[in-house]
Structure 1
Amino acid sequence: MSEPITSLNYRTTRFMVSAARVDQCPPEYGREVAFAGRSNAGKSSALNALTGSSKLARTSKTPGRTQLINFFEIDEEHRLVDLPGYGYAKVPEKMKHEWQRHLGAYLEQRECLVGVVLLMDIRHPMKEFDQIMIDWARQSQLPLHILLTKSDKLKFGAAKGIMIKLRSQLKDMEGLVTIQLFSSLKKTGVDELRGTLDSWLCQPIEDWELETEEAPAEALE
């Protein structure tokens, strides 16, 4: 019997497919982690830093792709998912609501989803979209890892202060939400992010099921 995998090679990640609706998503197998954030939070840069490829997130820059759910395959059993960004996108409100509806359907129906990485520009944290994602994580009891991106734009002391303040704001979700500083430009926090993803994607199934069953009681203590 082969040894269980404890870490993944994110440099092998490649684009799979884009989906406009949940019924267009790839078949449910293995595990996936979704990346969410407002459209100026640095999601593409973070994915590129994580995978060591400047080409990976080019797909998201193609006109019309911003409203799609983009799937990237690490290997046959593990995927990263780039969710639509909101906030700076100059599109009609009706279209934004449509995106939100499909995003909500994905988060609620995708059973192979094991965690969400929420990206916030450290200079503009906790906007409306961020709060929506946090509330969803609280309700669904699915792990949420917050990346405070562009941390290189602030002095370390100021950046750390914002992280500590946010942890205090979300202390009722301790055990469910984790937070870190991140800079795609300086590659700060990339190893920490990979470690979090490995803990979600490589954890033995029986351990995962036990944790999720116990999570609600622990998270509300």
Structure 2
Amino acid sequence: MKITSAEFVISAVGPKQYPTDGLPEIALVGRSNVGKSSLLNKMMNRKGLARTSSKPGKTQTLNYFRVNNLLYFVDFPGYGYAKVAKSLKQQWGKMIENYLKQRKELRFVIQLVDIRHAPSKDDVAMYDWCKEIGIPTVVVATKGDKIARGRWLQHTKVIREQLKMRGDDALIIFSSETGQGRDELWGEIVRRLQRQEETAPEVEQDPAGGTPETAESGNAPS
């Protein structure tokens, strides 16, 4: 995708701060230091737009990035960092749960895992949680440049097996250093958004001539 505009919009801590323009949203989840900020910068071709840090657990809000005025990337707090205060973790958990279950603009989740290591218990729990709620998931194996290309298949097999990935969930190898996987991930994003748009419920016209409303079936996006 050609990026014509990319901007940070807001660090939100609750629904009152979420954008109201109705653009589709894609959530990015993963362990602290898995490379979410680096992936965002590479995807948007903007160095430093999403701040990277050597200190895990720095992101404590839902950070919204608008791309081409077409969609939002929503960067989640990293999970699995023991030094973050328990009370703060609980706040994150509630915020994330409410967003995943109730945010109608959410289209799917991109879950980042480190290709060098087997998925952690937190990775598995996150993937299972998304499946339980009914949210489509794209798994991205980051840091692809850190291991030899000849070992990619071996490592992605472990990821698929440990997460017990469903057949319709993609697994893409990514490197923020080389750009490996960037075009493939954008292609997956565009295909999914187009497919969901084509299968979206039709607009229902009020018989009295009022404002049409879109039919909804529950809180969880699908």
- Shorter-chain TM-score bucket reads 0.7 to 0.9
State the secondary structure of the residue aligned to 2:34. coil
State the secondary structure of the residue aligned to 1:35. strand
* More displaced stretch, 182-191 vs 117-126: 117-126
- Residue 195 of structure 1 aligns with an amino acid whose one-letter code is G
Q: How many residues align?
A: 201
Select which of 138, 159, 174 maps to 2:167.
174
Select which of 28, 36, 40 maps to 1:43.
36
Inter-partner Cα distance in structure 2 for 1:44 and 1:80: 11
1:116 pairs with 2:109: yes
- The 8 Å contact of residues 40 and 121 in structure 1, kept in 2 or not, is answered as no
- Residue 191 of structure 2 aligns with an amino acid whose one-letter code is S
Inter-partner Cα distance in structure 2 for 1:171 and 1:70: 29
Larger radius of gyration: 2
* Residue 3 (structure 1) aligns with: none
Inter-partner Cα distance in structure 2 for 1:50 and 1:192: 11
1:147 pairs with 2:140: yes
Inter-partner Cα distance in structure 1 for 2:143 and 2:3: 21
- The 8 Å contact of residues 11 and 52 in structure 1, kept in 2 or not, is answered as no
Identity %: 36
1:55 pairs with 2:55: no
- The 8 Å contact of residues 73 and 80 in structure 1, kept in 2 or not, is answered as yes
- The 8 Å contact of residues 127 and 163 in structure 2, kept in 1 or not, is answered as no
- Residue 132 of structure 2 aligns with an amino acid whose one-letter code is Q
Select which of 70, 79, 82 maps to 2:63.
70
1:195 pairs with 2:187: yes
Bigger helix fraction: 1
Deviations 1:31-59 (A, max 9, x none): 1111111111000000111111112102x
- The 8 Å contact of residues 33 and 81 in structure 1, kept in 2 or not, is answered as yes
Runs (5+) with no aligned partner, structure 1? 1-7, 214-221
- The 8 Å contact of residues 118 and 158 in structure 2, kept in 1 or not, is answered as no
- Residue 16 of structure 2 aligns with an amino acid whose one-letter code is D
* Residue 216 (structure 1) aligns with: none
* More displaced stretch, 93-102 vs 126-135: 126-135
Inter-partner Cα distance in structure 1 for 2:162 and 2:200: 27
Inter-partner Cα distance in structure 2 for 1:118 and 1:152: 18
* Residue 34 (structure 1) aligns with: 27
Alpha-carbon RMSD: 2.5
1:172–1:35 Cα change, 3 Å:
closer
Runs (5+) with no aligned partner, structure 2? 203-216, 218-222
TM-score by length of 1: 0.81
Question: Mapping of 1:130-145 within 5 angstroms?
Answer: 130-145=123-138
TM-score by length of 2: 0.81
* Residue 177 (structure 2) aligns with: 185
